[in-house]
Chains A and B, each alone.
Chain A
Amino acid sequence: DIVVTQSPDSLAVSLGERATINCKSSQSVLYSSNNMNYLAWYQQKPGQPPKLLISWASTRESGVPDRFSGSGSGTDFTLTISSLQAEDVAVYYCHQYYVPPRTFGQGTRLDIK
């Protein structure tokens, strides 16, 4: 199985500041035939289902604010929130959908400092 590890487990950032969450997979999720990284980012607020923010490592879903961005390739990925807003308080998960079982990271809890 591909193990997906996020860091840090939690972080607190001041409003308007940058938040960065890292995700590392135990093997590459880059499919050479199409040059796509099978890596997604989800946001889960308390009492709500996960919401897809980023697919293919860096493609922002429709309606997702442009302060959210994804980067990386192969085994190392990053989710960046450029200017933290109060509504961004949530748990963030990365998820590899390259091969079954399609594993999630353990989650990163993001709070306001």
Chain B
Amino acid sequence: EVQVVQSGAEVKKPGESLKISCKGSGYSFTDYGVGWVRQMPGKGLEWMGVINAADSDIRYSPSLQGQVTFSVDRSTRTAYLQWTSLKASDTAMYYCARQRGGGLLDVWGQGTLVTVSS
């Protein structure tokens, strides 16, 4: 069974760093990409970008460029989303999803809720 499982909820203070994870199983990890999608409280879906699991090629949304970092560890079939200095406005649910060829996000993780509050 194809599965994408994300790390658990996080509560952080402004200025702190954070790295959340997304682990794929049941498929050939390097044949797909991993996309990241943000959903702020009560709002819609926002595409953050994608990382190619085979070669770590990355496309960030221009609106988020420089604010987050994507990475992947092929040995553990895990993708990561990282912040160096969180802001209150980063409070959101973050989803990762497997990306098929062509850019389609097909299998989604359960989401990681990130709360940033002083």
Name A residues whose Cβ lies closer than 8 Å to a Cβ of B.
1, 36, 38, 40, 42, 44, 49-52, 55, 61, 91, 93, 95, 97-98, 100-107
Contact = CB atoms under 8 A, between A and B. Distances in A.
Contacts of B37: 50
Interface string B94-107: 01000000111111
A52 to B, nearest CB: 5
Nearest to B111: A49
B66 to A, nearest CB: 15
B44 A107 contact: yes
Contact of B108 (A38, A51, A106): A51
A104 B47 contact: yes
14 contacts: A38-B104, A49-B108, A50-B37, A50-B45, A50-B95, A52-B108, A93-B45, A97-B102, A100-B59, A101-B49, A101-B61, A104-B44, A104-B47, A105-B44
Chain A contact residues: over half helix, strand or loop, or mixed?
A: loop
Contact of A38 (B59, B61, B62, B103): B103
Interface of B (DSSP majority class):
strand
B106 A102 contact: no
Contacts, number: 62
Q: For this complex, into which size category does the number of interface residues on chain B fall?
A: 20 to 34
A100 B45 contact: no
Given A49-B108, A52-B107, A61-B106, 9 more contacts: A38-B103, A38-B104, A44-B45, A49-B110, A49-B111, A52-B106, A52-B108, A93-B44, A101-B63
